[in-house]
Amino acid sequence: MAKVESPRRARRHDPERRQRVLDAALDVLVSDGAAGITHRKVAARADVPLGSVTYHFASLADLLARAFARYVEQRTAEFENLFTAVHTRDDLVEVLVDLVQGGPSRRRSAVLGFELHLAALRNPDLRKLTQQWTKDSRAVLARFTGPEIAGRLDALLEGMIMHALLTTEPEPREMTRAAIVQALGPASGSGNDLGQ
Amino acid sequence: MAKVESPRRARRHDPERRQRVLDAALDVLVSDGAAGITHRKVAARADVPLGSVTYHFASLADLLARAFARYVEQRTAEFENLFTAVHTRDDLVEVLVDLVQGGPSRRRSAVLGFELHLAALRNPDLRKLTQQWTKDSRAVLARFTGPEIAGRLDALLEGMIMHALLTTEPEPREMTRAAIVQALGPASGSGNDLGQ
Amino acid sequence: MAKVESPRRARRHDPERRQRVLDAALDVLVSDGAAGITHRKVAARADVPLGSVTYHFASLADLLARAFARYVEQRTAEFENLFTAVHTRDDLVEVLVDLVQGGPSRRRSAVLGFELHLAALRNPDLRKLTQQWTKDSRAVLARFTGPEIAGRLDALLEGMIMHALLTTEPEPREMTRAAIVQALGPASGSGNDLGQ
Amino acid sequence: MAKVESPRRARRHDPERRQRVLDAALDVLVSDGAAGITHRKVAARADVPLGSVTYHFASLADLLARAFARYVEQRTAEFENLFTAVHTRDDLVEVLVDLVQGGPSRRRSAVLGFELHLAALRNPDLRKLTQQWTKDSRAVLARFTGPEIAGRLDALLEGMIMHALLTTEPEPREMTRAAIVQALGPASGSGNDLGQ
DNA sequence: AATGAATGAGTGTTCATTCAT
DNA sequence: TATGAATGAACACTCATTCAT
Determine which helix (DSSP H) or strand (DSSP E) holds B55, and give its type and residue range.
helix B50-56
Nearest protein residue by Cα to C1' of nucleotide F4: A51
**Domain check: are A53 and A81 in the same one?**
no
Model confidence pLDDT, tens digit, residues A138-186? 999 999 999 999 999 999 999 999 999 999 999 999 999 999 999 998 8
**Domain check: are C85 and C46 in the same one?**
no
Higher pLDDT, A116 or A10: A116
Cβ(C115)–Cβ(C128) under 8 Å? no
**Domain check: are A75 and A139 in the same one?**
yes
Residues 89-118/D with CB within 7 Å of nucleic chain E are none
Model confidence pLDDT, tens digit, residues C45-97? 999 999 999 999 999 999 999 999 999 999 999 999 999 999 999 999 999 99
Q: What is the DSSP string of B89-156?
A: HHHHHHHHHHHHH-THHHHHHHHHHHHHHHHHTT-HHHHHHHHHHHHHHHHHHHHHH-HHHHHHHHHH
Residue type, A21: V
What pLDDT sits at residue D103?
A: 73
**Domain check: are B162 and B127 in the same one?**
yes
Q: How far is CA A88 from CA A58, A79, A156, A187, in A?
A: 47, 17, 21, 11
What pLDDT sits at residue D73?
A: 95
Q: Which of B6, B31, B57 is the last residue of a domain?
A: B57
What pLDDT sits at residue D4?
A: 37
**Domain check: are A136 and A159 in the same one?**
yes
D137, HSE (Cβ side, Cα atoms, 13 Å):
24
Q: Pick from D131, D155, D165: which is nearest to C121 by CB?
A: D165
Chain C nearest CA to D182, separation (Å): 7
Does C193 fall in a domain?
Answer: no
**Domain check: are D85 and D41 in the same one?**
no
Average pLDDT of the residues of chain A? 89
Contacts of B117 in chain A (CB under 8 A): 114, 162, 166
Higher pLDDT, B8 or D17: D17
**3-state DSSP assignment of residue C187:** coil
Q: What is the pTM of this model?
A: 0.88
Which range marks the domain in which residue B118 is found? 68-184
Nearest to C46 by CA among C70, C73, C17: C17
Does D10 fall in a domain?
Answer: no
Give the list of residues 6+ apart from residue D106 with CB closer than 8 angstroms, or none: D99
**C-alpha–C-alpha distance, residues D96 and C66, integer Å:** 37
Nearest to B180 by CA among A151, A122, D57, A165: A151
Nearest to D116 by CA among D88, D178, D158: D158
**C-alpha–C-alpha distance, residues C30 and C116, integer Å:** 11
Cβ(D3)–Cβ(D84) under 8 Å? no
Contacts of D178 in chain C (CB under 8 A): 148, 152
**Domain check: are C115 and C176 in the same one?**
yes
**C-alpha–C-alpha distance, residues D100 and A121, integer Å:** 71
Chain C nearest CA to D184, separation (Å): 10
pLDDT range class, residue B102, cuts 50, 70, 90: confident
- Please return the burial class of B78, using the count of CB atoms within 10 Å of its CB with bins 0-12, 13-18 and 19+: exposed
Chain D nearest CA to C152, separation (Å): 6
What pLDDT sits at residue C102?
A: 83
**C-alpha–C-alpha distance, residues C107 and C124, integer Å:** 26
Nucleic strand F within 7 A of Cβ D11:
yes
- Please return the burial class of C25, using the count of CB atoms within 10 Å of its CB with bins 0-12, 13-18 and 19+: buried
Does C76 fall in a domain?
Answer: yes
**C-alpha–C-alpha distance, residues C53 and C46, integer Å:** 9
**C-alpha–C-alpha distance, residues C119 and A196, integer Å:** 89
Does C79 fall in a domain?
Answer: yes
Task: For residue C112, give the DSSP letter.
Answer: H
Cβ(D149)–Cβ(D183) under 8 Å? yes
- Whether C and A touch, i.e. at least 3 CB pairs below 8 A, reads as no
Query: B-side interface with A, Cβ within 8 Å?
Result: 31-36, 111, 114-115, 117-118, 120-122, 127, 130-131, 134, 148, 151-152, 154-160, 162-163, 165-168, 171, 175, 178-179, 182-183, 185
Nucleic strand E within 7 A of Cβ B17:
yes
What pLDDT sits at residue A186?
A: 83
Residue C163, domain CATH: 1.10.357.10
Cβ(A34)–Cβ(B121) under 8 Å? no
What pLDDT sits at residue D102?
A: 83
What pLDDT sits at residue A14?
A: 65
Nearest to B112 by CA among B34, B41, B51, B58: B34
Cβ(D159)–Cβ(C156) under 8 Å? yes
**Domain check: are B39 and B105 in the same one?**
no
Q: What is the DSSP string of chain A?
A: -PPPPPSS---S--TTHHHHHHHHHHHHHHHHHHHH--HHHHHHHHT--HHHHHHHSSSHHHHHHHHHHHHHHHHHHHHHHHTTT--BHHHHHHHHHHHHH-THHHHHHHHHHHHHHHHHTT-HHHHHHHHHHHHHHHHHHHHHH-HHHHHHHHHHHHHHHHHHHH-SSPPPHHHHHHHHHHHH-S-SSSSSB---
Cβ(D159)–Cβ(C154) under 8 Å? yes
Higher pLDDT, D156 or A104: D156
DSSP lists the bridge partners of residue B193 as B88
Q: Which long-range contacts (CB under 8 A, 24 or more apart) does A168-172 make?
A: A168/B127, A168/B131, A170/A101, A171/A101, A171/B151
Q: How far is CA A106 from CA A66, A81, A111, A162, B114, in A?
A: 21, 15, 9, 12, 20
pLDDT range class, residue A58, cuts 50, 70, 90: very high
Nucleic strand F within 7 A of Cβ D50:
yes
Average pLDDT of the residues of chain B? 89
**Domain check: are A111 and A178 in the same one?**
yes
Cβ(D89)–Cβ(D187) under 8 Å? yes
Residue of D nearest to C31 (CA): D122
DSSP lists the bridge partners of residue B88 as B193
What pLDDT sits at residue B105?
A: 78
Task: For residue C15, give the DSSP letter.
Answer: T
Query: A-side interface with B, Cβ within 8 Å?
Result: 32-36, 111, 114-115, 117-118, 120-122, 127, 130-131, 134, 148, 151-152, 154-160, 162-163, 165-168, 171, 175, 178-179, 182-183, 185
Tens-digit pLDDT profile for chain D (196 aa)?
Answer: 333 333 444 445 566 889 999 999 999 999 999 999 999 999 999 999 999 999 999 999 999 999 999 999 999 999 999 999 999 999 999 999 999 998 777 899 999 999 999 999 999 999 999 999 999 999 999 999 999 999 999 999 999 999 999 999 999 999 999 999 999 988 765 445 554 4
**Domain check: are D39 and D124 in the same one?**
no
pLDDT range class, residue B117, cuts 50, 70, 90: very high
Cβ(C93)–Cβ(C177) under 8 Å? yes
Model confidence pLDDT, tens digit, residues A7-53? 444 445 566 889 999 999 999 999 999 999 999 999 999 999 999 99
Does A73 fall in a domain?
Answer: yes
Residue D42, domain CATH: 1.10.10.60
**Domain check: are A76 and A162 in the same one?**
yes
Residue D83 phi/psi, 5-degree rounding, is -100, 0
Does C156 fall in a domain?
Answer: yes
**Domain check: are C41 and C135 in the same one?**
no
Contacts of A183 in chain B (CB under 8 A): 152, 156, 182-183
Q: Which of B7, B27, B57 is the last residue of a domain?
A: B57
**C-alpha–C-alpha distance, residues C134 and B168, integer Å:** 82
Domain count across chain A: 2
**C-alpha–C-alpha distance, residues A136 and A154, integer Å:** 11
Model confidence pLDDT, tens digit, residues B52-69? 999 999 999 999 999 999
Does A123 fall in a domain?
Answer: yes
Higher pLDDT, A104 or D68: D68
Nearest to B75 by CA among B106, B96, B101: B106
Higher pLDDT, A102 or B173: B173
Tens-digit pLDDT profile for chain C (196 aa)?
Answer: 444 444 444 445 566 889 999 999 999 999 999 999 999 999 999 999 999 999 999 999 999 999 999 999 999 999 999 999 999 999 999 999 999 998 777 899 999 999 999 999 999 999 999 999 999 999 999 999 999 999 999 999 999 999 999 999 999 999 999 999 999 988 765 445 555 4
Dihedral of alpha carbons B145, B148, B149, B151, sign:
positive
Does B37 fall in a domain?
Answer: yes
